[in-house]
Amino acid sequence: MTTVGFIGLGIMGAPMAANLAGAGYRVLGYNRSEAAVRKLAEQGGQAAGSVAEAVREADIVLTMLPDSPDVAEVVQGPDGVLANAKDGTLLIDCSTIRPDVSRELAEAGARSGVRVVDAPVSGGEQGAIDGALSIMVGGAEADVEAARPVLETVGKTVVHVGPAGSGQTVKAANQLIVAGTIELVAESIVFLEAHGVDTEAAVKVLAGGLAGNAILDRKAAGMLNREFTPGFRLELHHKDLGIAQAAARDAGVPLPLGSVVSQLVAALVARGDGGLDHSGLLKLADELSGKPNRS
Ligand code: NAD
């Protein structure tokens, strides 16, 4: 039986770990807050009291943590993954972090006998619950193939996109597209409401044409009700747009539209709305049109 050490049992990690346990993997789960570990133990996993405990017996370690410093600490820290993993362990980092940090982790892993792939995901909490995530994987061919059975348990579309760090670069592009699309859907809702259009009917017909997209399909209904429970928090999207901006700067590529939406997300986070779902961009669109009471 393959043993998976799973670190980071939050909105995404908890259902991913539960799906792995449900598929017959032995899952040793660790999270900073204990309640999440207890919940995994009720769902067929086993509780680990530290990173070291989750990792020592693992053939595969999966991390699903918020940001680059969290992953760097958990992986490279004195009590971290590299210090405790068996020789030849495969580390799959599913967090969304900076591509340069993923490349550094792959190099540090190679020095410690740990194979590392970056495998950020898209599909949100529901995709994680359904085991239907889209996963963009960076790393050496053989390591990505070794990671595939685990990734195909938590995801439906698993694509090797290039060497270490490439998964994160593709994920940054994903986050640009998602933020830009949410903003355009939000502006369209405000525009349609200002004209007194039946917005539910409008969303239905728009979703069937060239303007159709996953935000209209999955988020527009909640947006029409001004329901912004996360899902994916604005503060995490703020982090991701920072990653995209920095990576674009490294490559000498401007992101004009992406920069505008980055600033709108930054404004929402700065004023304390970072805990809302990223569809909360509509709240700002309402206010910019003088309709603050809609949200
Ligand atoms: P989250 O904040 O719900 O979960 C992160 C978990 O990691 C928390 O339970 C936290 O307690 C734990 N944690 C943090 N530092 C730790 C440490 N040092 N040791 C052990 N546990 C620690 O976040 P999330 O929404 O699950 O997102 C995780 C990652 O996945 C992020 O990089 C995010 O950008 C990405 N992501 C999220 C979504 C989404 O819809 N929520 C979708 C795709 C990708």
Residue-wise pLDDT for 98-122, tens only, equals: 999 999 999 999 999 999 999 999 9
Q: Going by CA atoms, what residue is nearest to atom 38 of ligand 1?
A: 124
- The alpha carbon of 7 and the centre of ligand 1 are apart by a number of angstroms equal to 9
Q: Going by CA atoms, what residue is nearest to atom 9 of ligand 1?
A: 10
- The alpha carbon of 31 and the centre of ligand 1 are apart by a number of angstroms equal to 10
User: Residue 169: pLDDT band by 50, 70, 90 thresholds?
Assistant: very high
- The alpha carbon of 127 and the centre of ligand 1 are apart by a number of angstroms equal to 15
CATH 3.40.50.720 range(s) for the chain read 3-162
Q: Would the pLDDT of 134 be above 90?
A: yes
d(C-alpha 146, C-alpha 117), whole Å: 10
What's the chain's average pLDDT? 97
Please report where in the chains the tokens 């060497």 appear, as a residue. 163
Of the residues 16, 51, 64, 73, which should be mutated to test ligand 1's pocket, given the most ligand atoms within 8 Å of the CB? Answer: 64
d(C-alpha 212, C-alpha 80), whole Å: 44
Residue 283 bears catalytic tag: no
Of the residues 6, 28, 30, 31, which should be mutated to test ligand 1's pocket, given the most ligand atoms within 8 Å of the CB? Answer: 31
Calculated CA dihedral for residues 106, 112, 114, 119, nearest 10 degrees: -20
Ligand 1 atom at minimal distance to the Cα of residue 33: 11
- The alpha carbon of 64 and the centre of ligand 1 are apart by a number of angstroms equal to 5
Closest to 66 measured CA to CA, from 265, 237, 282, 200: 237
Q: Going by CA atoms, what residue is nearest to atom 1 of ligand 1?
A: 10
Q: Which of 171, 219, 239, 283 is catalytic?
A: 171
- The alpha carbon of 94 and the centre of ligand 1 are apart by a number of angstroms equal to 10
Query: Length of the chain, please?
Result: 295
| Exposure of 231 in the CB half-sphere (CA atoms within 13 A) | 21
Q: What mean pLDDT comes out for the span 175-192?
A: 98
Q: With contact defined as beta carbons under 8 Å apart, do 61 and 92 qualify?
A: yes
Report the percent of the chain where pLDDT is more than 70. Answer: 100
Q: Would the pLDDT of 224 be above 90?
A: yes
Ligand 1 atom at minimal distance to the Cα of residue 233: 41
Question: End-to-end CA distance of the chain, in Å?
Answer: 50
Q: With contact defined as beta carbons under 8 Å apart, do 28 and 57 qualify?
A: yes
Ligand 1 site residues (CB inside 6 A) read 7-13, 30-33, 36, 64-66, 70, 73-74, 95-96, 121-122, 124-125, 231-232, 236, 240
11-25 pLDDT, tens per residue?
999 999 999 999 999
- The alpha carbon of 149 and the centre of ligand 1 are apart by a number of angstroms equal to 22
Ligand 1 atom at minimal distance to the Cα of residue 120: 44
Q: How far is CA 22 from its chain centroid?
A: 22
33-82 pLDDT, tens per residue?
999 999 999 999 999 999 999 999 999 999 999 999 999 999 999 999 99
Q: Would the pLDDT of 294 be above 90?
A: no
Position 295 scores a pLDDT of 78
Cα 228 to Cα 37, 72, 219, 234, 279, distances in angstroms: 27, 31, 10, 10, 6
Position 274 scores a pLDDT of 98
Q: What mean pLDDT comes out for the span 223-244?
A: 96
Position 119 scores a pLDDT of 99
Class of domain 3-162: alpha beta
Position 35 scores a pLDDT of 97
Position 293 scores a pLDDT of 84
Position 76 scores a pLDDT of 98
d(C-alpha 210, C-alpha 14), whole Å: 35
Better pLDDT: 124 or 169: 169
Q: With contact defined as beta carbons under 8 Å apart, do 6 and 28 qualify?
A: yes
CATH 1.10.1040.10 range(s) for the chain read 169-288
d(C-alpha 29, C-alpha 17), whole Å: 7
Closest to 132 measured CA to CA, from 7, 15, 6, 21: 15
152-163 pLDDT, tens per residue?
999 999 999 999
d(C-alpha 37, C-alpha 49), whole Å: 9
User: Residue 271: pLDDT band by 50, 70, 90 thresholds?
Assistant: very high
Q: Which CATH architecture has domain 169-288?
A: Orthogonal Bundle (1.10)
Structure tokens given for 14: 């908890």
